[in-house]
């Protein structure tokens, strides 16, 4: 192009820029119309989905050409293949782009339509996450969730123009999966399941856990049966929250003489038990098994879980006495101690308590640990608490390693509701983990002072008490009532002894109790004296429902020096204090 021609073109362009006629385009004042956003699933609509479970993880996104996406409307409905016209779905508002969806499956198979509409930034109304949004008869926030437009709802006039008009949809074929049921692991011993002890009285607690691939919340109920699952009449239906139940047979029913009885079923723990119904067929003085099954909202059931399993046994003993004796004792002479107490209970009140029921709570356990006949701490309340409540009286004797955790829960509740307790123990130390003794016994504390021993050697409390030493009433007002006891010169095995090796520490009573016994003053030379003064060893709660003796009673059957024998003490406690 020549220089002359180029100059002419530049002049023409300048003329256009300066607004010469014929080269200017006039724009109106109207705003550009908003372009609605588009919505997409990560699973594309043309995808063919395999049948899945009712819990699905969904992902989506939105795009807006002239702004940005500020939120989404999401709805799902069974049996639809597309969004209805007019759109009568109920949407939930959200700002996220993924969600775990639990389809409300109520039958074995169903197809659910999921619809999602993106909303762009031209929609300015602030909505909470999960707000129920309906588009017919006009877009509105269904504040009260009743599905009908009324005075409490909020109209959303800008919503239609701000949302995806078409929406993204996807059909999800769903098949229900049956629930499963399993034993519960013991938190204190994860290698063990929580199962009933192999021998119980007529109070038994069970625990289990249900699960479902469609979501544990789809479990609609459980049902249980005793020994026989044939016929629907053998099963008791339970709510889905009842994953721990307690079977109870009151004495008025078990004392009736029948070999099988109905058991009342409860959920919860003391004192907030809730009645669930009854199951039939509990065998007294015989083996039993509980069966549990889960049912989901679609009606499918789990396999049946047996408690205990086929390789274990569960024997139910019929209560036969007003007295339960708890053996919390594991020394070498434990069998002789059991025999000793049997003989003493024959010697007073005409032997009315001689044929007592007994529960050894240390069988198969290391020192200080509950044995195999004690339920897991998970079900200790209510099972063990209500086992004690089958009886009017409890006599609990221990060695120097008492099972304080078991006693803490059970004896507190038992004595607080009218049960009457005689508890005897000795102390290896003044340690009271968790304040257990203060919880269930009428004690404030145990003396922790280290006392002088032979040749100024410190002793952790009294460790050597001579034969024939007295345990005497604390004051004159009970001296003629409570008998004098003294340390026997013969052990429960029949062998003679001079010094009794026993851990004894002075007790400090609570304000609602009084002392009933002290150990006599040590009359030996000071170099041999393992204690000072007259240690308090016996306490009675003022309501006469709890007697605590911090000295093993099976050492106190001596007759020398005025000793009246242990049976006289048992007579005083069970007849005059407890009202036998």
Q: Which residues pair with 193 in a beta bridge?
A: 185
Measured CA to CA in angstroms, residue 16 lies from 12, 24, 549 at distances of 6, 7, 115
In contact, 298 and 287? CB cutoff 8 Å = no
* pLDDT score for 375: 87
Q: Which of 37-41, 44-48, 427-431 has the highest mean pLDDT?
A: 37-41
Instruction: Return d(Cα 3, Cα 26) in angstroms, integer.
Output: 33
* pLDDT score for 188: 77
Mean pLDDT of 72-101: 92
Identify the band that residue 103 occupies on the pLDDT scale cut at 50, 70 and 90: confident
Residue 327: name the closest of 257, 229, 394 by CA: 394
Poorest-confidence range of 106-120, 121-135, 241-255, 452-466? 452-466
Burial class (CB in 10 A: 0-12, 13-18, 19+), 360: buried
Mean pLDDT of 388-411: 92
Alpha helices, DSSP H, located in 299-376: 334-345
Q: Which of 175-179, 228-232, 547-551 has the highest mean pLDDT?
A: 547-551
* pLDDT score for 16: 33
Poorest-confidence range of 44-58, 358-372, 550-564? 44-58
- pTM higher than 0.85, yes or no? no
Mean pLDDT of 227-234: 87
Q: Which of 210-219, 330-339, 471-480, 495-504 has the highest mean pLDDT?
A: 330-339
Longest dimension (CA), the chain: 147
Poorest-confidence range of 92-106, 235-249, 325-339? 92-106
Mean pLDDT of 336-358: 96
> In this structure, what token pair is assigned to residue 576?
């005059």
How do residues 537-576 score in pLDDT, each as one tens digit?
A: 999 999 999 999 999 999 999 988 888 999 999 999 999 9
CATH 3.40.50.880 positions along the chain are 323-577
Poorest-confidence range of 325-339, 389-403, 466-480? 466-480
**In the CATH hierarchy, which top-level class contains the domain 323-577?**
alpha beta
Mean predicted lDDT score pLDDT of the chain: 85
Poorest-confidence range of 73-87, 393-407, 525-539, 559-573? 525-539
Return the ∠ at Cα 213 (arms to 186 and 240), rounded to 5°. 60
Residue 350 has pLDDT above 60, yes or no: yes
Identify the band that residue 5 occupies on the pLDDT scale cut at 50, 70 and 90: very low
Identify the band that residue 338 occupies on the pLDDT scale cut at 50, 70 and 90: very high
Q: Which residue has the higher pLDDT, 51 or 335?
A: 335
Identify the band that residue 19 occupies on the pLDDT scale cut at 50, 70 and 90: very low
Residue 478 has pLDDT above 70, yes or no: no
Identify the band that residue 258 occupies on the pLDDT scale cut at 50, 70 and 90: confident
Q: What is the fold, at CATH topology level, of the domain defined by 180-316?
A: Immunoglobulin-like (2.60.40)
Under the phi-then-psi rule, with left for phi > 0, alpha for psi from -120 to 50, and beta for the rest, what region is 455? left
The position carrying tokens 């009218």 is: 418
* pLDDT score for 309: 86
* pLDDT score for 46: 43
Poorest-confidence range of 21-35, 92-106, 167-181, 380-394? 21-35
Alpha helices, DSSP H, located in 87-242: 159-162
* Cis status, amide bond into 558, omega within 30 of 0: no
- How far, rounded to the nearest angstrom, does the alpha carbon of residue 408 sit from its chain's CA centroid? 17
* pLDDT score for 82: 92
Poorest-confidence range of 153-157, 468-472, 559-563? 559-563
- 3-state helix, strand, coil split of the chain in percent (to 5) is 20, 35, 50
How do residues 262-278 score in pLDDT, each as one tens digit?
A: 999 999 998 899 999 99
Residue 48 has pLDDT above 80, yes or no: no
Mean pLDDT of 468-483: 78
DSSP 8-class letter at 478: H
Residue 337 has pLDDT above 90, yes or no: yes
> In this structure, what token pair is assigned to residue 238?
């339970």
Identify the band that residue 378 occupies on the pLDDT scale cut at 50, 70 and 90: confident
Q: DSSP of 206-230, one letter per residue? A: EE-EEE-TT-GGGEEEEEEEES--S
CATH 2.60.40.10 positions along the chain are 180-316
Write down the architecture of domain 38-175 according to CATH.
Sandwich (2.60)
How do residues 492-548 score in pLDDT, each as one tens digit?
A: 888 888 877 777 778 889 999 999 999 888 776 555 556 667 888 999 999 999 999
* pLDDT score for 327: 95
């Amino acid at each position: 192009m020549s220089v002359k021609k180029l100059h002419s073109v530049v002049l023409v362009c300048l003329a256009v820029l300066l607004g010469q006629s014929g080269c200017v385009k006039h724009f109106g004042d109207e705003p550009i119309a908003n372009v609605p956003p588009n919505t997409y699933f990560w699973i594309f609509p043309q995808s063919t989905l395999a049948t899945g479970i009712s819990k699905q993880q969904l992902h989506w996104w939105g795009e807006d050409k002239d702004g940005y996406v500020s939120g989404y409307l999401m709805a799902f409905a069974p049996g639809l293949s597309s969004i209805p016209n007019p759109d009568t779905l109920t949407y939930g508002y959200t700002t996220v782009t993924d969600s775990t969806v639990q389809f409300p499956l109520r039958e074995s198979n169903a197809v659910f339509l999921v619809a999602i509409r993106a909303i762009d930034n031209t929609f300015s109304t602030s909505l909470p996450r999960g707000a129920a949004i309906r588009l017919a008869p006009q877009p509105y926030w269904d504040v009260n969730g009743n599905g009908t437009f009324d005075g409490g709802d909020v109209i959303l006039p800008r919503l239609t123009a701000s949302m995806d008009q078409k929406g993204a949809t996807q059909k999800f074929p769903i098949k229900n999966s049956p629930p499963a049921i399993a034993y519960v692991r013991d938190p204190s011993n994860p290698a063990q399941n929580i199962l009933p002890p192999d021998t119980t009285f007529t109070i038994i607690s069970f625990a289990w856990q249900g699960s479902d691939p469609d979501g544990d919340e789809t479990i609609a109920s459980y049902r249980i049966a005793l020994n026989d699952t044939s016929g629907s009449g053998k099963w008791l239906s339970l709510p889905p929250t009842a994953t721990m139940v307690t079977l109870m047979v009151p004495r008025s029913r078990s004392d009736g003489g029948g070999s099988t009885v109905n058991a009342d079923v409860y959920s919860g723990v003391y004192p907030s038990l809730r009645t669930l119904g009854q199951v039939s067929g509990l065998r007294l003085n015989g083996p039993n098994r509980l069966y549990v099954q889960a049912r989901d909202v679609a009606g499918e059931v789990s396999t049946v879980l047996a408690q205990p399993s086929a390789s274990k046994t569960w024997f139910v003993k019929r209560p036969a006495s007003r007295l339960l004796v708890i053996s919390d004792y594991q020394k070498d002479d434990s069998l002789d101690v059991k025999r000793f107490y049997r003989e003493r209970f024959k010697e007073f009140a005409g032997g009315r308590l001689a044929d007592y029921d007994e529960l050894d709570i240390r069988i198969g356990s290391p020192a200080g640990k509950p044995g195999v006949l004690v339920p897991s701490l998970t079900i200790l309340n209510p099972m063990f608490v209500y086992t004690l409540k089958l009886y009017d009286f409890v006599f609990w004797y221990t060695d120097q390693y008492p099972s304080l955790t078991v006693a803490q829960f059970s004896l507190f509740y038992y004595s607080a509701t009218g049960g009457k307790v005689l508890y005897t123990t000795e102390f290896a130390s003044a340690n009271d983990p968790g304040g257990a003794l203060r919880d269930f016994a009428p004690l404030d504390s145990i003396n922790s002072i280290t006392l002088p021993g032979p040749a100024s050697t410190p002793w952790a409390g009294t460790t050597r008490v001579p034969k024939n030493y007295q345990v005497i009433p604390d004051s004159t007002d009970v001296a003629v009532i409570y008998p004098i006891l003294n340390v026997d010169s013969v052990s429960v095995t029949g062998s003679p002894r001079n010094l009794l090796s026993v851990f004894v520490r002075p007790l400090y009573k609570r304000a609602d109790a009084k002392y009933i016994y002290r150990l006599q003053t040590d009359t030996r030379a000071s170099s041999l004296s393992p204690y000072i003064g007259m240690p308090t060893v016996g306490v009675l709660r003022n309501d006469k429902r709890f007697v605590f003796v911090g000295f093993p009673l099976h050492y106190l059957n001596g007759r020398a020096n005025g000793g009246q024998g242990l049976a006289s003490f048992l007579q005083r406690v069970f007849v005059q204090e407890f009202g036998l």
